[in-house]
């Protein structure tokens, strides 16, 4: 990270002091005393003071008489403090009143100091210098903090972009082992995002599915099949039905992916939220609601929510897309398979959200379709069921 810029300290000579008093002689005396060190503005009434306080450059300090006709100093101060444009300007009261109640009221309303009339020039200069220095130091700190916040935001955005590019590259690397999947990772990412958004308003999910969670689970989804890099080509790319032994090897991609994510988390030395979700998704996205899935035979809500969302997204997209072992299935038939799998293969809530918003999932499939020959099959025509293995895709 580049070293933060050191902003130049403001010069006291550039400071603006607004003097407010209804007596012209008082304005003249104070103005002459301060004019050699500061830019002076004068106002002979409360309303005029408020006008000048709002002008750019704004005053660095206001010397405000308390006893003025029509609008007294306390009323002026109250107006200054309630206006976001002037509430930060320090105010010193100039007053011939010496009662404690008046002083207390002034400090309660936000005055920073009192100078009694008739004032001693040395005391006036010292207090003005002190509050000008405090104001300019505070302004410099605010500018420095604003710069640092902007720099942190910029660097954070850079890190997020690098992270997203890294995720996309890893996912694409996994998909190069299975080239017919094309835009599968992009479609499934958006299916998962949409499913999470649809479940978010339901009472049982409000505590878990925040906007941040939706962002993170969508970010993690492309890594669901990262474990396929460990599956031999002879199995991964086999055009025919897998033998029982080959099927066992194929199933190991879930644990291989989870182990890769777990290692990445250990190397980082700290929890990384999207990697933890990616680990869940990679490990358990082939689990089924009824416990008949793999690798651990988890049942119902024992399956992490992220993996339940991915399970539906992955199966739907695999059904309607070209695979080395099958042509694309018509989307309407895939929809019926999802409906049949509700409460068996798929989380009932996720399945309901999919079925109730089916057209939105078709829109995603169309938006991220592959080349014409490999595009998801969104048509309505039927295909003989013998072309599918129990109408479900391979992992």
On whether residue 332 sits in a domain, the answer given is yes
Q: Are residues 63 and 211 in the same domain?
A: no
Q: Are residues 371 and 300 in the same domain?
A: yes
| 254-283 pLDDT, tens digit each | 999 889 888 878 887 777 787 889 899 999
Q: Are residues 125 and 30 in the same domain?
A: yes
Q: What residue has token string 């220095």?
A: 133
On whether residue 158 sits in a domain, the answer given is no
Across the range 65-93, mean pLDDT stands at 92
> For residue 63, is pLDDT > 70?
yes
How many whole angstroms separate alpha carbon 322 and alpha carbon 320? 7
| 215-262 pLDDT, tens digit each | 999 988 988 888 888 888 888 878 778 888 998 998 998 999 889 888
Strand order in the sheet with 61-65: 39-43, 16-20, 61-65, 91-95, 113-116
List of residues 6+ apart from 19 with CB closer than 8 A: 27, 30, 31, 34, 40, 41, 42, 43, 62, 63
Q: Among 96, 125, 147, identify where a domain stops.
A: 147
On whether residue 304 sits in a domain, the answer given is yes
On whether residue 228 sits in a domain, the answer given is yes
- pLDDT at residue 21, as a whole number: 94
Q: Are residues 232 and 333 in the same domain?
A: yes
CA distances from 153 to 140, 189, 275 (A): 20, 25, 22
| 326-339 pLDDT, tens digit each | 788 889 999 999 99
CATH code for the domain of 54: 3.40.50.2300
Which structural domain, as residue segments, surrounds residue 256? 177-387
Return the ∠ at Cα 45 (arms to 40 and 50), rounded to 5°: 70
Q: Among 147, 163, 186, identify where a domain stops.
A: 147
Domains in the chain, number: 2
Q: Are residues 207 and 108 in the same domain?
A: no
Q: How far is CA 138 from the centre of its chain?
A: 29
Q: Are residues 141 and 218 in the same domain?
A: no
- pLDDT at residue 283, as a whole number: 94
Q: Are residues 226 and 332 in the same domain?
A: yes
What is the pTM (predicted TM-score) of this model?
Answer: 0.59
Would you say how long the chain is, in residues? 395
């Amino acid at each position: 990270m580049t070293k933060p810029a050191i902003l130049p300290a403001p010069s006291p000579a550039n400071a603006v002091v607004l003097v407010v008093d209804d007596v012209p002689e008082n304005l003249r005396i104070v103005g002459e005393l301060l004019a050699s060190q500061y830019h002076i503005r004068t106002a002979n009434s409360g309303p005029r003071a408020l006008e000048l306080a709002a002008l750019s450059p704004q005053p660095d300090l206001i010397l405000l008489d308390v006893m003025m006709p029509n609008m007294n100093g306390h009323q002026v101060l109250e107006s200054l403090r309630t206006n976001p444009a002037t509430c930060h300007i320090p105010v010193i009261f100039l007053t011939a009143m010496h009662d404690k109640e008046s002083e207390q009221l002034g400090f309660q309303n936000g005055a920073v100091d009192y100078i009694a009339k008739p004032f001693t020039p040395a005391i006036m200069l010292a207090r003005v210098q002190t509050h000008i220095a405090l104001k300019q130091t505070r302004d410099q700190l605010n500018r420095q903090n604003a710069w640092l916040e902007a720099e942190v935001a910029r660097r954070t955005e850079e890190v997020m972009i690098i992270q997203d590019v890294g995720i996309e590259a890893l996912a694409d690397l996994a998909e190069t082992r299975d080239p017919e999947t094309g835009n599968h990772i992009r479609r499934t990412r958006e299916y998962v995002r949409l499913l999470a958004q649809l479940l978010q308003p339901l009472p049982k999910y409000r505590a878990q599915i925040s906007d941040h969670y939706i962002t993170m689970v969508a970010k993690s989804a492309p890594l669901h099949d990262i474990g396929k890099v460990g599956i031999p080509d002879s199995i991964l790319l086999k055009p025919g039905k897998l033998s029982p032994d080959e099927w066992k090897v194929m199933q190991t991609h879930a644990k291989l992916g989870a182990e890769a994510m777990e290692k990445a988390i250990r190397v980082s030395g700290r929890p990384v939220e999207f990697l933890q979700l990616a680990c869940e998704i990679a490990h358990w996205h082939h689990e089924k609601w009824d416990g008949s899935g793999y690798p651990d035979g988890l049942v119902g809500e024992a399956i992490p929510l992220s993996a339940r969302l991915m399970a539906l997204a992955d199966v739907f997209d695999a059904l309607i897309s070209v695979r080395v072992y099958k042509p694309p299935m018509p989307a309407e038939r895939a929809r019926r398979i999802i409906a049949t799998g509700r409460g068996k293969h798929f989380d009932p809530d996720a399945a309901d959200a999919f079925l109730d918003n089916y057209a939105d999932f078709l829109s995603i499939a169309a938006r991220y379709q592959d080349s014409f020959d490999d595009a998801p099959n969104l048509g309505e025509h039927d295909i003989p069921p013998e072309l599918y293995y129990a109408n479900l895709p391979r992992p």
